[in-house]
Amino acid sequence: MNAKTELDVLSDFFDRYGSALTAGDVAAIAGCYALPGSVVADAYTFTFSSPASVALSFIGAAPDYQDRELIAAHAKIEHVDKLTPALALVTVEWEFLDSQGRSVPGERYVYLVRTTEDVPAICTVIHAA
């Protein structure tokens, strides 16, 4: 039996996260986060300390995905910078598929991810240029 590599574990995790994003499944999105967690961008920073606050922060994103008719998301992991045995900075470029089968470029994010017992959780999301 082959053990999964760290990259396999992260790829599987971001596949599940991308599926939850495009499905608007805020409960599944919330389940991908370590608490407390944070989101950091040029113009704002916010934190959340409960699954409900994570879900609330993503409720506004669901209509955007629906308006753009995005039906699938693929996380292209560009770089993994291992900080400790449990913590890594993971740079991801998102690519989406719309209802017409067209590829839609997404944005880049850097995720601070904590992995324990092969279960990753997002601690911080940073919107990257």
Nearest residue to 32 via CA among 126, 118, 89, 113: 113
Q: What is the spatial order of strands in the sheet that 45-48 belongs to?
A: 45-48, 33-40, 119-128, 103-116, 87-98, 70-82
Taking a C-beta distance cutoff of 8 angstroms, is the pair 110, 118 a contact? no
Enter the pTM of the model: 0.89
Taking a C-beta distance cutoff of 8 angstroms, is the pair 87, 112 a contact? yes
Amino acid (one-letter) located at 6:
E
* Per-residue model confidence as pLDDT tens digits over 40-89: 989 989 899 998 888 887 776 666 667 777 888 899 999 999 999 999 99
* Per-residue model confidence as pLDDT tens digits over 90-104: 999 999 888 888 888
Rounded distance, CA 95 to CA 78, Å? Answer: 12
Q: What is each CA distance from 101 to 66, 93, 98, 116, in whole angstroms?
A: 15, 19, 5, 36
Nearest residue to 12 via CA among 69, 77, 68: 77
Residue 113 has pLDDT above 90, yes or no: yes
